[in-house]
A and B are shown apart, each in its own frame.
Chain A
Amino acid sequence: MSEDFEPKILAFCCKYCAYAAADLAGSMRLSYPPNVKVIQIPCTGRIDIVHILKAIEDGADGVYVAGCMEGDCHFVSGNLRARKRVEYVKKTLTELGIEPERVEIYNLSSAMGPRFAEIAHEMTDRIRKLGPTPVKTRTV
């Protein structure tokens, strides 16, 4: 892996928790790696297997879904469904010979700004160690 590898990471963040936590992290002037591109979603239950796969197909080095704490989902069970879908994608990636650690799901609340920054660091470090995605694309 080259020293200057900068991972491209996509974060699907629930507007009721992780996205608000990202806002809070900003208000608290906490820095987190610019490698993470945040996409707001109405609930992690909106995330489908194909959304994560498309990101991988289009060259993302890592993808994570960040939703509410288990039991606290604004839509009752969206985060639990998302967990199962992320697990499915992990299994699929394993079948395809791609590291399943490139995909992850996290749970946090809107009050956890520092945790949001921590997750962004954690995922960036993880992907940096794994190296660039083996999925080669011409343009990302």
Chain B
Amino acid sequence: MIVANRKSLSEILDMVKDCNKILVAGCKGCVTVCNVGGLKEVQVLASCLKIARKKDGGKPLEVEEILLERQCDPEYIEQVKDTVGNYDAVVSMACGVGPQFLSEAYPNQKFYPAVNTTFFGGAVAHGIWEERCAGCGTCIIHYFDGLCPIARCSKSLMNGPCGGSSHGKCEIAEDLDCIWDMIVKKKMAQGRLDDLRYLTPAKDWRTARDGGPRRSIREELTK
């Protein structure tokens, strides 16, 4: 899933400082699963914003809440077409895709992102998410027994480990596993260490962000 973190309340409050009535729009997709922009988080943010504005008798803020099925599909974005104009601004709690889809659909309205979109990952424990995929566009994890050196090595090394690997940890943080240490240990456990004699050539990054914004077209699905 796409993992995100909510922006600080002061940042969000600054975005809506001139507003009297806003809509906080959550998303039932990835941000619900990573507990950042689902129903509960929409309620919490709405309440926080109202508290902040009621504090010391400030200008009251009317906050309405909505939870869209997804904010990355036009058919769900359409669900607010009759009401989106009723607000001074819309605060989207979806990943970075949400406020952009909303902005494109409703060019006259202001949309603010309430979250910082961080990475593609999963929950390793309750409340803890870790990065697993960098969306490089050319998956190579089968060469490394299901462990991705692009997303999980700090240097995205194709031939590791580097000298910064110590006792299974990466030099950038004591609690960060060195993925190359894990790859080597897994190869040893599976008796396939010889695989690593193969020198992986430089990666073609054109399929990643380096090739510019990407587009995926599936002819069989297009109208």
Contacts and interface: CB of A to CB of B under 8 A. Distances in A.
Contact of B51 (A48, A49, A56): A56
Contact of A135 (B9, B43, B44, B54): B54
Interface residues of B, number: 15
A92 interface: yes
A95 interface: yes
A57 B54 contact: yes
Contact of A50 (B10, B40, B57): B40
A64 B40 CA distance: 21
Contact of B9 (A56, A57, A95, A136): A95
Contacts, number: 41
Contacts of A98: 51, 55
B52 interface: yes
B57 A53 contact: no
B47 interface: yes
Contact of B8 (A57, A95, A97): A95
Given A95-B9, A95-B10, A96-B9, A135 B51 contact: yes
Contact of B55 (A50, A54, A92, A97): A97
A134 B55 contact: yes
B46 to A, nearest CB: 9
Nearest to B127: A84
Contacts of B51: 53, 56-57, 96, 98, 135
A12 to B, nearest CB: 16
Contacts of B57: 136
Interface string A31-61: 0000000000000000011100110110000
B186 interface: no
Given A95-B10, A134-B56, 6 more contacts: A92-B9, A96-B48, A97-B55, A98-B51, A134-B55, A136-B56
Interface of B: 8-10, 40, 43-44, 47-48, 50-52, 54-57
Interface of A: 48-50, 53-54, 56-57, 92, 95-98, 134-137
